[in-house]
Structure 1
Amino acid sequence: MNTSSANVRTMLRTYGKQLTNAKRLARFRQALGEAKALDGVDRQAKRRELVERIAREVIENLIVSSTPSPVVAAILGQIQEEFGHPFLFEYPVDGTDVIILRSTADGPQEVVGPERNRVMRRLWEITLSKVDDTML
């Protein structure tokens, strides 16, 4: 088989172009895969941030409301079930931190110290869970 040097050069140039295109396509696919992985992480982070912001709003505003929404009623119901008695959350007029009152037979008693921390931590966890479950 006789081949001219021009044909060999043309064939080698064509293979070189195919190799260059294959490398470029591989880099593109790799970058696209990394972007998709990063996009998934970004979406999760944005969702978590949004859930936390809404949960904070629920705790700061709705939990002290006199007419609770179904979500707030579910949160308060779960807190009552876990601790065995209902709680009342109020903000004092001076704007300081929320006051937690426990309903007892003797009347409301303020929850303080480690128990207050446990109730607040559990309130936060339950609220995050409920908000996350109700979000699309």
Structure 2
Amino acid sequence: MLQTYGKQLTSAKRLARFRRALKLSRSQDEVTISREAKRRELVERIAREIIENLIVSNTENPVVGSILQQLEHETGKQYVFEYPLDGMDVQILHDAQGGPNEVTGPERQEVMQRLWKITLARVDATML
């Protein structure tokens, strides 16, 4: 029951972020940009969606699986990404001898940067 409640909270947070982004996009002036810039923007948007929603939800999507495998290969650690019930920012955990530990500080920034670069490259490679 608590897992279901946690999933509902996560979905509600995603919906709130989506509505905020939608509201901001309506208020900005439309600017004509090059085809390459549009593609880059689309790749970044899809990569952001993968990181914020699919990786955190432990989906069995093959793209997500390959991204996490590459991250594990590059860092030598297996990470779990989840949203805490009380916060808005994603929590990164990895297994250690004493149980799961939260990744914080410079290591957290490094993991998030690697995850972002891997996801961007993977999305860019699969886009037509």
Unaligned 5+ segments in structure 2 are 1-31
Larger helix percent: 1
Greater relative contact order: 1 or 2 (C-alpha under 8 angstroms, separation 6 or more)?
2
Give the number of the structure whose alpha-carbon radius of gyration is greater: 1
Normalising by structure 2, report the TM-score. 0.71
Report 1:64-83 matches (<5 A).
64-83=56-75
CA distance in 2, matches of 1:109, 1:59: 20
Q: Contact 1:80–1:86 at 8 Å: present in 2 too?
A: yes
Aligned partner of 2:7 in structure 1 is none
Aligned partner of 2:119 in structure 1 is 127
Out of 98, 103, 110, the residue aligned to residue 90 of structure 2 is 98
Report 1:1-136 matches (<5 A).
42-136=34-128
Question: Cα distance, 1:67 vs. partner?
Answer: 2.4
Q: Contact 1:88–1:102 at 8 Å: present in 2 too?
A: yes
Q: How many percent of aligned residue pairs carry the same amino acid?
A: 63
Helix, strand or coil at the partner of 1:66 = coil
Question: Cα distance, 1:94 vs. partner?
Answer: 2.5
Helix, strand or coil at the partner of 2:34 = helix
CA distance in 2, matches of 1:132, 1:68: 20
Normalising by structure 1, report the TM-score. 0.67
Q: Contact 1:85–1:104 at 8 Å: present in 2 too?
A: no
CA distance in 2, matches of 1:98, 1:68: 19
CA distance in 1, matches of 2:70, 2:96: 18
Question: Cα distance, 1:107 vs. partner?
Answer: 1.4
In the alignment of these two chains, the number of paired residues is 97
Residue by residue over 1:73-99, the C-alpha shift from the partner in whole angstroms, topping out at 9 and shown as x without a partner, is: 011001111111100000111242100
Question: Cα distance, 1:106 vs. partner?
Answer: 2.3
Unaligned 5+ segments in structure 1 are 1-38
Helix, strand or coil at the partner of 2:57 = coil
Residue by residue over 1:87-117, the C-alpha shift from the partner in whole angstroms, topping out at 9 and shown as x without a partner, is: 0000111242100001223211000000000
Aligned partner of 1:8 in structure 2 is none
